[in-house]
Amino acid sequence: MHKELRWKIPLILILVVGFFWLAWPVEKKINLGLDLQGGMHLVLEVETEKAVEFSMEQRAEDIKHALEDEDIEVDRVILNRDTNVIRVLLFDVIDTRAAETTLKGYTALEKKEILRGGQELVYQLRSEEYDYIQDNAIQQALEVIRNRINELGLSEPTIQVQGNRRILVQLPGVKNLKRAMDLIGKTARLEFKMIDESMSAETAKTRGVPPGSEILMEQTRDKKTNQVIKETAHLVKKRVLLTGDMLTAAEVRYDPDYNEPYVAINFNSLGARTFFELTSANVGKRLAIILDDHVYSAPEIREKIPGGRAQITGSFTTNEAKDLAIALRAGALPAPVTILENRSVGPSLGRDSVEAGVNSIMIGMIAVVVFILIYYRLSGVVAVGALVLNLIMLLGALAYFGASLTLPGIAGIILTVGMAIDANVLVFERIREEVRVGKTVRAAIDAGFAKAFRTIVDANVTTFIAAIVLFQFGTGPIKGFAITLCIGIAASMFTAVFVSRTTFDTFMSRKKIERLSI
């Protein structure tokens, strides 16, 4: 027995010191959840129909240019957004077969019919492709929002799909609610298109917009009030020449002459090659840099630009430029998101919850300690010591794994306190039974721990399995409860069986005890 104590006692001391070091100071080491420190609770809905619409618009443009590349004369390519139908109108029926051959490569579309004697080909988006675009939009939106929030540096955010097209976002500790909401909701769809210089935007408003072009606005804002002070219309060609999907970096820099912030962007190898070809073919023309259907700048291409570098200028404040860079680095949302629910939890409510939770833990512990000491006498001191170590291990483990402590998590700690004492009660009652039948103190302790061990394991393992299920399938608050319960069960098993037994063995090894105070 003495040999076993030589490694058991140092192990317990090392664990006590280690977990105490991990947990102290508690207020700095353990993250508090939304309900304890305040923050933001959002429920977002992804407009998946818009993702389908964006995809169909791109396909319609691709079809037009693919046919033209094959020297097939195209009158118009018309997209019906309500039915997801693309109508290809040809100038000459002689090109019908060649057009069909070219469009066979678009496997997401199925040919519905041929009208006007072969001059009009009608294609519709396949139903399975429609479902895929919508499902992919949800998953992509989830990933983009997670990347943007991670850039804000918040601890333990909750971001998960809720239902078919909704995303739950909980941000504990967020200070600037408006900035966080603007960043999350920004679509950040970056596109490069050529300015249509066949006429001015004002002329297009009067005479009609030419086919293949559209009018987009550029806004100039006052940097102090953020109010729009000027709007400039641009006639822009609809064809997207380059998108933000090819970005590898976006960072804020400052103009050396005016000290104004702008966003510098870098493209990947494919984007750099595309950008070089684009600028080489359009020297002297204007290129519109468009974000979420708003023109940010429309500079003239003075020379071909190698290296895949560009910049987005505008009337930015520093924070706006930083948020734009974050959004571009994280990627564009595949579709706009609508905020269905927006609740903020104030820090005062969080403080009240923390105080109430701590008070409940202290009152519960005091009540349990008093009962144990009265009912089990000196042996109760062993149980109390094991209980204190249980709490130190629980808090240390929460700090080590970076878990957030929530109000349900506090409930899990309170439940753990009860379960830790319950394990000691099982052992002590078994020891009492053995003493009553006339066994020696040593034999009674050995038999008590041996017989109670199976019952303790059965009770804790079944509860642990239930906690794992709660963690796997539960949402934020339920997960907080499950985490503290799992850690607490593991700690209580260790303290009730190993630590308590080692304590009894230590006392028994130092002097011969004829009567046990239990």
Q: What are phi and psi of 123, to 5 degrees?
A: -125, 145
- From residue 88, give the alpha-carbon distance in Å to each of 54, 69, 75: 18, 15, 8
261-267 and 309-312 beta bridge pairing? antiparallel
Q: pLDDT value at position 155? A: 62
The residue ranges of DSSP E strands in 258-308, in sequence order, are 261-267, 287-291, 294-297
Q: Rounded distance, CA 469 to CA 478, Å? A: 10
Q: pLDDT value at position 277? A: 92
Q: Rounded distance, CA 492 to CA 418, Å? A: 10
Q: What are phi and psi of 315, to 5 degrees?
A: -85, 70
Q: Which two tokens stand for residue 229?
A: 């002070």
Q: What is the pLDDT of residues 349-399, one digit of tens each?
A: 556 766 777 787 788 778 888 888 888 888 888 888 888 888 889 888 888
Beta bridge partners of 343: 41
Other beta carbons within 10 angstroms of residue 348's beta carbon come to 9
Distance of alpha carbon 295 from the chain centroid: 30
Task: Tell whether pTM > 0.85.
Answer: no
Lowest mean pLDDT among 80-94, 186-200, 417-431, 475-489: 475-489
Check pLDDT > 90 for residue 236: yes
Q: What is the pLDDT of residues 404-419, one digit of tens each?
A: 777 788 888 888 877 8
3-state secondary structure of 485: helix
Q: Rounded distance, CA 510 to CA 342, Å? A: 64
Q: What is the pLDDT of residues 248-268, one digit of tens each?
A: 888 999 888 778 888 999 998
3-state secondary structure of 36: helix
In the structure, what pLDDT confidence band is assigned to residue 286 with cuts at 50, 70 and 90?
A: very high
CB distance 200 to 235 below 8 Å: yes
Q: pLDDT value at position 192? A: 92
| Amino acid at the residue 415 | L
Q: pLDDT value at position 226? A: 65
CB distance 184 to 177 below 8 Å: no
Assess whether the previous peptide bond of 306 is cis (omega < 30° from 0).
no
Q: pLDDT value at position 284? A: 92
Q: Residue range 219-228: average pLDDT?
A: 73
Please list, in sequence order, all residues whose beta carbon lies within 8 angstroms of the beta carbon of residue 3, skipping any fewer than 6 positions away: none
Q: Which residue's structure tokens are 């042996």?
A: 379
In the structure, what pLDDT confidence band is assigned to residue 223 with cuts at 50, 70 and 90?
A: low
Q: Residue range 97-102: average pLDDT?
A: 90
Q: pLDDT value at position 45? A: 93
Q: pLDDT value at position 177? A: 78
Q: Residue range 456-479: average pLDDT?
A: 82
Domains and CATH numbers, the chain: 2-38+346-510 (1.20.1640.10), 50-127 (3.30.1360), 186-343 (3.30.1360.200)
More confident call, 408 vs 205: 205
Q: What is the pLDDT of residues 162-188, one digit of tens each?
A: 888 899 998 887 877 788 888 888 888
CB distance 301 to 285 below 8 Å: yes
